[in-house]
Amino acid sequence: MKREIKFSLLYRDMWQSSGKYVPRKDQLAEIAPVIIDMGCFARVETNGGASEQVNLLYGENPNQAVRTFTKPFNEAGIQTHMLDRGLNGLRMNPVPADVRELMYKVKKAQGTDITRIFDGLNDVRNIAPSIRYAKAAGMIAQATMCITHSEVHTAEYYINMAEQLIAEGAQEICLKDMAGIGRPETLAKIVKAIKLSHPDITIQYHGHSGPGFSVATMLEIAKAGVDILDVAMEPLSWGMVHPDVITIQAMLKDAGFLVPEINMKAYMEARRLTQSYIDDFLGYFIDPRNRFMTSLLIGCGLPGGMMGSLMADLKGVHAAINTNLKAQGKAELTEDELLVQLFDEVKYIWPKLGNPPLVTPFSQYVKNVALMNIFAMSRGQERYSMIDENTWNMILGKAGRLPGKLDQEIIDLAKSKNLEFFEGDPQDNYPNVLPKFIKEMEELGWDRGQDDEELFEFAMHEKQYREYKSGEAKKNFNRELQQKMEAKFKSAGVEVKMPDLRATKYPNAERVESTSKGRLIWELDYNDHSIPPAHGTSFAEGDVVAYLETPNGIEEIKTNFAGKIVSIEKQQGDLVEKGDVVAYLEK
């Protein structure tokens, strides 16, 4: 009898590996019945990751979006699953235990069947509580191993990790190959070993297309015993996303596996609808470079989903690096040469930083260190001159145990700064907070929501939830969309001028203007949480708001008044002229 292999459609990750935003609630309601009609999916990824935070960013209630999208799949008997970041829940920084526990109760009530729990450092201590919380709430706990390739991350490393996760109560195991650099033979060994010891444990594989290994991996692990494969569909398959279901279905059918048939009429309709969402507004936030695959990722191991932000970072600092090199009588770098240098620097520093799996948020931290090393060295400074607080927390063990050993140079640097290493359970650093949020909601007259879902959202994404409730998020999104549309028209030779925000929405705001011609840099240390400054960030008179790369070097843009950011007009790496408005500050 042929062995069956099932497919899961990553409708959430298809969007988030391509761009910034996800479809609206009405669009999700429209596409769900068509996905069901395709007839080939046992599972659909409906939520999790950053998608619910993104809903808030454009002024939509994520709880309503999740309920709307999961409902038709629940009724059709198709399992729904979400991505969660263990200790970090649905955000980039650690979450108190009571908020983590509430998340599973809320998501189960909203119709999500399975939670895919991962930890960016593969620290089982950060996954184990979520396994317990998920099962207590009635969800299926799918414990996840972040796949990468190094001397530390061997087949034996992952087989041992799987044993620990299963011992903690995991009902399923996911191999999350976020950069797509897992080697097919190695992953097959891992799957075969797990199935040999635990034949009843469901194994699901998630592999991005980026460097090109994932299709070969799917065939090898199918032979080794994998149960479910994550796939995508046009127009968002391939590139930095995932292989298309059509290709994988045909490959496995030819290899003798039992796979579901695809209703191609429904496939084409889902394809058309998805393209219509791109054309509507989502395409303005999709970097075209994410449509391409690149083998350059094999050496550095960075996830393909980072390429858009990575290229923007390079663009933002390229001119400054060349200015520094020129001042020292050295040859300037092309953008391609700088890209290769960055990849080489990541490859060099990664083991020195303890080989953290290059997945959110640790991939960003390693990339930031590498980029700032290149920038510092172009000025004749030493490596590691600029390391932000989040990266130090990773180095010091506050986020969990690093898989590898820190280089003595990094340890000595920490000691020279009087920084202390942390050996305890990371969760202990974050005390419970729900009573505080409950009290504030009562004072504000805010409804805690069905199944406490609004309470959860407030506690998980406090800043974004406040801006959603005030209506500021919707205003900010509409302004961002208008700016994207204006830029597109301008590139086509059509001038479309937006109204002056000072004279309309912000009558009390003052302009922060570019002091000369150059390329805008919001933050030299590349702390991802402040590029550009968040709405509401305060500046005192004389503070540096941003920087300019000019032929003469780095210039500061200062404010001559005190105020807080109410609008960002230019993005990281934008070319600006003297007098251009880069931001508005309100006194």
DSSP letter string, 15-55: HHTTBS----HHHHHHHHHHHHHH---SEEEEEETTHHHHH
Per DSSP, 180 falls in state S
Q: Which domains does the chain have, with CATH numbers?
A: 6-284 (3.20.20.70), 294-426 (no CATH), 500-586 (2.40.50.100)
> Is residue 120 classed as helix, strand or coil in its secondary structure?
coil
Going residue by residue through the chain, which has 587 residues, state the pLDDT in tens, using 9 for 90 and above: 689 999 999 999 999 999 889 999 999 999 999 999 999 999 999 999 989 999 999 999 999 999 999 999 999 999 999 999 999 999 989 999 999 999 999 999 999 999 999 999 999 999 999 999 999 999 999 999 999 999 999 999 999 999 999 999 999 999 999 999 999 999 999 999 999 999 999 999 999 999 999 999 999 999 999 999 999 999 999 999 999 999 999 999 999 999 999 999 999 999 999 999 999 999 998 878 778 888 888 888 888 767 666 776 777 788 888 888 888 889 999 988 998 999 999 999 999 999 999 898 899 899 989 988 998 899 888 999 888 888 999 999 999 999 999 999 999 999 999 999 999 999 999 999 999 999 999 999 999 999 999 999 999 999 999 999 999 899 889 888 888 888 777 766 666 555 554 455 566 778 888 888 887 888 654 433 346 787 778 888 888 888 887 766 678 888 877 888 888 888 777 788 887 888 888 87
**pLDDT value of residue 492:** 66
**Among 239, 238, 154, 166, CA closest to 200:** 166
The DSSP annotation for 334-364 comes to: -HHHHHHHHHHHHHHHTTTBT---S-TTHHH
β partners of residue 9: 44, 231
Mean per-residue pLDDT over the chain, rounded: 90
Give residues with Cβ within 8 angstroms of 112, minimum separation 6. 46, 47, 48, 66, 70, 80, 81, 82, 139
CB 7 within 8 A of CB 245: yes
**pLDDT value of residue 307:** 67
**pLDDT value of residue 528:** 39
**pLDDT value of residue 561:** 78
Per DSSP, 533 falls in state P
- Residue where the block lists tokens 């398959």: 237
**pLDDT value of residue 513:** 86
Residue 445 to residue 46: CA distance in whole angstroms: 31
The DSSP annotation for 413-463 comes to: HHHHTT-----S-GGGGS---HHHHHHHHHHHT----GGGHHHHHHHHSHH
Give the total residue count for the chain: 587
For β-strands 563-568 and 544-550, DSSP reports them as unpaired
